[in-house]
Structure 1
Amino acid sequence: MASKNTNIVSKTLVESYIRKQVKALKQSPAETIDTLTKQLLDKPKGSLEKYLLHITPEKLQDTQSGYYKLFHDILPKVNTDHLVTLGMNIGYNGIFTASKNTQTNSPESKSDALWAFMLSIDGINYEKKSAQYKAQISNAKKNGTRCFMLFIEKNAWKLLPLIKKEKDCAFFLFCPSSCLTEKFLDAVKLTKNLFISVAYNSNGNKEQILSTNVFNRLRSRKLPYGIHYYYSASDLDNFKSGEIFKKLSREKPLFSFFLSKKADSGKDTVTEEEKKAVYQIIIKERYWLKYPSIPFEIEKDYYYLIH
């Protein structure tokens, strides 16, 4: 019991600290990041630190840097409670818990300590499969996972009761803009552990019309959001020129996620060599960040954050 109480006190202190830093970040981004960066430099470099340390004070003071624009123009406009809840669930409940599991588990079971779990949801037949989805999430939680990437094409609103119930988890919901109705977004505003990523294009050969109005609705509610883009081999030149990063950043997402496009048969349309090339370009863009949206290649970054 004492150990449990100690964990509760520790978590409360961490949340209080994060809330304080988020408030400071909104008021004085450069100074706050300067302080946090120095603190990270004094600690061992784990997976998260490796992703954060290149966000240097110099980049936040450079008005031409994407990080400057992100931390000065976009991040301060996101609801504080959303940032704190997601930060706690991703960082303290997610990465910290997974790290502890990795240290205590045997080498053979280290793969159990996944920081995130990816799950494709059938929104049309959700009721028939809901028990299966809940069981998968429950099993992942037993292994220390607290972050979930949910992919759904229709009826995203059906997932809200499950997401709200799992208050100590962070959910990244990848869906098309057609799911983001006014009623749904009003409910999402009250769901602090949910981060939405809007599909910029479709996976496969089906056409999809993206309404930029959906981003206005997200911003008006001060919701954090991202964009995900399904890329093919023909996009490689746009990656090399940076045009694809520029195009997505116009919608002011915190993150831009990239996934390789699949054919209707389910077969990948992008070779491993092409994926590697895209990943290297994304790493370079994330380091220098010319445009104010942090890019991630879901397959590669997901793997390397886990391992």
Structure 2
Amino acid sequence: MKKDMNRMLVETVVRRTLKNIQNSPERETRNLVDLGLECSKGRFQKNFLRTTQKMLHNQESAYYSLVKNTVDSVDHDILTTFGINLGYNGCTKGARVIREVEAEYGFNVPWSITLVINEEKLDAEPDFYPSVLQQGISLGIHTYLFFILGDPEKILPLIEKQSECAFIIFLRGYQVSSSFVKKMKAVKNAMTLVYVNKDMPDACQKLRDVKLLYGVYKRYAEQDKKRILSGEWLNTVLPAKPAFAVLRADDSCTPETKKDVYDYVVSVRNSQKYPLVLMDLKYDILAIDRIISEEECMAEFNADGNLRTYEGLQREEKFNIFRHSLEDILREIQIAK
């Protein structure tokens, strides 16, 4: 296999920085961002690093605490592998392939794919989900979000096999068992997001105890708006020390509520007062996609194989991943516009 020299160089710099950052998080973080900006070629990289560079001029930024806490508490192999798979493979190398495919074939390709895993399908057709991932990789997609309601250990072999991709696993606290945590220690290209409820603190502590990268997430409804915008919700998750906190709107939420929540998410990030990265699942995925591609594109497949785009659920059979290839579905989305 031909070695990617650019990736090897990036990995060398990241590993060296992780060693030094524990003693001087402010200086080493700024140096890493400055070096990345000098070497970056991709649009996403440049945009992200310029924003980060500007934010890090704030000496009181809570992101310095986030960096130090993460480096101290997370396995460096995970930080390196997941970070490079997401940033380099997903948003630089993969983004270049995405733009080439879009230019040549005339349909939009999302930078990430969300899959709600159907366990019956996973058990009955073990080649199905690996095939979907291979189809995505061939189009330049290296970032995958997995939701699974049953046994999460079933998807770990799938994740480990695609060692060049970055995976984000969304789980409930009760799914974070001692057995799962033990097996996750061997997985270097994934992070876990735990649903915020009474089971969250214990689940996060289990992940932290074995130096795994984790965050938390919440599917919010209309009645949660006030609690989110007041900052009350965010303050309840801080004791769990997540690196990320992700909000996802329920279908019942009004467009005004979704906009207000996203405006709040952006304002929290810009304020740099919290030692975590707050994100909105839908709108931040679209924001990244707009940087990578000319037009925004989003693809999520539910447990029945039906496609959800940023416009909503598409129930027509031609958009079902159980019946059609990923490329055919993306072509159909373009035709339907």
Shorter-chain TM-score bucket reads: 0.7 to 0.9
Residues in 2 aligned to 1:34 and 1:235: alpha-carbon distance in whole angstroms:
37
Matched, 1:241 2:238: no
* Aligned 1:1-307 pairs, distance under 5 A: 5=2, 8-39=4-35, 46-52=43-49, 53-54=51-52, 56-59=55-58, 61-62=59-60, 65-107=61-103, 109=106, 111-112=108-109, 114-123=110-119, 126-201=122-197, 209-261=198-250, 268-307=251-290
What is the number of residues matched between the two proteins? Answer: 286
CA shift, 1:183, in A, is: 1.2
Identical residues among aligned pairs (%)? 26
Gaps of 5+ in 2: 291-337
Does the 8 Å CA contact 1:227/1:257 hold for their aligned counterparts? Answer: yes
Letter in 2 for 1:298: L
CA distance in 2, matches of 1:115, 1:252: 28
- Match of 1:27, SS state, is coil
Q: Do the aligned partners of 1:200 and 1:210 also contact (CA within 8 Å) in 2?
A: yes
My pick for the range that moved more, 288-297 or 96-105, is 96-105
Pick closer, same or farther for the CA change 1:48–1:233 going to 2, 3 Å: farther
How many angstroms does 1:110 deviate by? Answer: 5.9
In the TM superposition, residue 97 of structure 1 has moved relative to its aligned partner by: 2.1
Sort the Cα spacing of 1:283 and 1:130 in 2 relative to 1 into closer, same or farther, 3 A: farther
Worse overlay, 235-244 or 216-225: 235-244
Q: Secondary structure of the equivalent of 1:250?
A: helix
CA–CA distance in 1 between the matches of 2:271 and 2:234? 12
One-letter amino acid of the structure 2 residue matched with residue 223 of structure 1: L
Q: Evaluate the alpha carbon distance shift between residue 41 and residue 143 of structure 1 in structure 2; reply closer, same or farther with a 3 A threshold.
A: closer
**Is the partner of 1:72 in helix, strand or coil?**
helix
Structure 1 residues 139, 44: closer, same or farther in 2, change over 3 A?
closer
2:304 is aligned to: none
Deviation at 1:189, TM superposition (A): 0.6
One-letter amino acid of the counterpart of residue 34, structure 1:
R
| C-alpha distance in 2 between matches for 1:133 and 1:240 | 38
Q: TM-score, normalised by structure 2?
A: 0.78
The Cα offsets for residues 91-140 of structure 1, whole Å up to 9 and x where unpaired, read as: 2211112321244344464622x321111112365302543322211111
The amino acid that maps onto 1:160 is L
CA shift in 2, pair 1:276/1:129, >3 Å:
farther
Distance 1:243 1:48, change over 3 A: farther
Contact 1:124/1:154 (<8 A) preserved: no
Taking structure 1 as the reference length, the TM-score comes to 0.85
2:293 aligned residue: none
Q: Per-residue CA shift, 1:176-229, capped at 9, x if unaligned?
A: 11111111101101110111111114xxxxxxx415222221111011101011
Specify the SS of the correspondent of 1:172: strand
Q: Considering only aligned residues, what root-mean-square deviation do their CA atoms show, in Å? A: 2.2
Contact 2:90 2:143 in 1 (8 A): yes
1:66, 1:17 → 2: CA distance?
24
Tell me if the contact between 2:98 and 2:141 (Cα under 8 Å) persists in the aligned partners: no
Letter in 2 for 1:200: V
Secondary structure of the structure 2 residue equivalent to 1:212: helix
Instruction: Describe the superposition over 1:250-295 as per-residue Cα deviations: whole angstroms up to 9, x where unpaired.
Output: 211100011112xxxxxx1112221111111101101113221101
Following the alignment from structure 2 to structure 1, what is the Cα–Cα distance between the partners of residues 37 and 248? 31
- Decide whether the 8 Å contact of 1:101 with 1:110 is kept in 2: no
Distance 2:52 2:200 in 1: 33
- Residues 118 and 106 (structure 1), Cα distance of their counterparts in 2 relative to 1, 3 Å cut: closer
Change (3 A) 1:105 1:69: same
Q: Flag the 1:10–1:71 CA change in 2: closer, same or farther, 3 A.
A: closer
Give the secondary-structure state (helix, strand or coil) at the position aligned to 2:119: coil
* Residue type at the aligned position of 1:235: D
Contact 1:124 1:155 survives alignment (8 Å) = no
